[in-house]
Amino acid sequence: MLAYVNGKFLSKDDAVVSVFDHGFLYGDGVYETMRAYRGKIFLLGKHLTRLKQSADAISLALPLPLDKIGEALNEALTVNKLNEAYLRIQISRGTGEIGLDPALCPAPTMVILTRPFKDYPPELYANGVAVAIVQTRRNHPLALDPAIKGTNFLNNILAKIESLKAGAYEGIMLNWQGYVAEGTISNLFAVKKGILQTPSLETGILEGITRDLVLHLARKGKIPTEELLMRPRDLLRADECFITNTTVEVLPVTVIDGQPVGNGRPGPITERLMQAYRSEVQHHV
């Protein structure tokens, strides 16, 4: 696969950035991950809008207009002859002298990585996955705005390490007040008495693009929804649970902290939303 680095497509060995890049030195940058189906990037416009919002929030000037960034993403698919694909775009502050002042970096660095996408094993969707509620808390929103999809992922990495030690597929993080927030790379949903519930944005979470789409599909399907403050005990008492992100789409959760969710199988509302999401993909691509 050829990687896009500042306007050029380069081989893996040649696709390098400077050790003085502030993305490497300080995690100073923003990113988006996307999925292409049949050669078309799903919800590209929404991802580009969020990329711009994240960049604006950290006073990072994008190297190209959004339409040109979109063209570069599509060119990455063409150059690599990909139809079913994973894409990641990362824009860092760029190369500059050591120091925190953004003015040290005269121009940002833009990288696009692609790889063929292979579907997750069907048994994950048929049987569900196990998650663990971890001790690492989500960053306080006054310390780091959760709306920024930034490249400094240490908070999530620590939570991921905990979940791996617990033998879980995903780690569920609480916020500073002890409310359920989100997974290390996912948003979280539960179903209780037929109502679809998900942590509200005031919990201090990223407003996931897939999260928003699932809420839209639920309302379209006449499934009642609630965005609320959720305690761990509420999650443990749920009838159904699932996680969402760009690549897994809607993935059932059937075990939380070693305890079965509901009857230990993916529930009917989860399965409805799995199918609704896949239908939405087919409609748009």
- Give the domain CATH number at 187: 3.20.10.10
284 vs 32, 38, 40, 116, 266, CA distance in Å?
Answer: 20, 11, 9, 20, 26
266 pLDDT band (50/70/90 cuts)? very high
Q: Give the mean model confidence (pLDDT) for residues 66-85.
A: 98
192 vs 61, 77, 171, CA distance in Å?
Answer: 44, 41, 21
**Residues 6 or more apart whose Cβ sits within 8 Å of residue 141:** 204
Of the candidates 59, 54, 64, the one whose C-alpha atom is nearest the C-alpha of residue 30 is: 54
- Judgement on whether residues 91 and 143 belong to the same structural domain of the protein: no
Q: Rounded to an integer, what distance in angstroms lies between the CA atom of residue 270 and that of residue 125?
A: 10
- pTM for the model: 0.95
CA angle, residues 273, 171, 183, in degrees to nearest 5: 50
Question: Given this model, what pLDDT does residue 285 score?
Answer: 80
- Judgement on whether residues 140 and 108 belong to the same structural domain of the protein: no
Share of the chain above pLDDT 90, in %: 99
Determine the structural domain holding residue 92 and report its residue range.
Answer: 3-116
- Judgement on whether residues 141 and 275 belong to the same structural domain of the protein: yes
Q: Domain containing 106 — which CATH number?
A: 3.30.470.10
Question: Given this model, what pLDDT does residue 196 score?
Answer: 98
Question: Given this model, what pLDDT does residue 168 score?
Answer: 98
Last residue of a domain, one of 85, 116, 147: 116
Residues 168-225: tens digit of each pLDDT: 999 999 999 999 999 999 999 999 999 999 999 999 999 999 999 999 999 999 999 9
Question: Given this model, what pLDDT does residue 127 score?
Answer: 98
Q: What angle do the packed helices 209-220 and 268-284 form, to 10 degrees?
A: 110
Mean pLDDT of the chain: 97
Residues, the chain, total?
285
- Judgement on whether residues 30 and 145 belong to the same structural domain of the protein: no
Give the total number of structural domains in the chain.
Answer: 2
pLDDT above 90 (res 284) = no
Q: Rounded to an integer, what distance in angstroms lies between the CA atom of residue 202 and that of residue 144?
A: 13
Question: Given this model, what pLDDT does residue 7 score?
Answer: 97
Q: Give the mean model confidence (pLDDT) for residues 13-22.
A: 97
Question: Given this model, what pLDDT does residue 43 score?
Answer: 98
Contact 29, 268 (CB under 8 A): no
Residue 277's SS3 state is helix
Question: Given this model, what pLDDT does residue 185 score?
Answer: 97
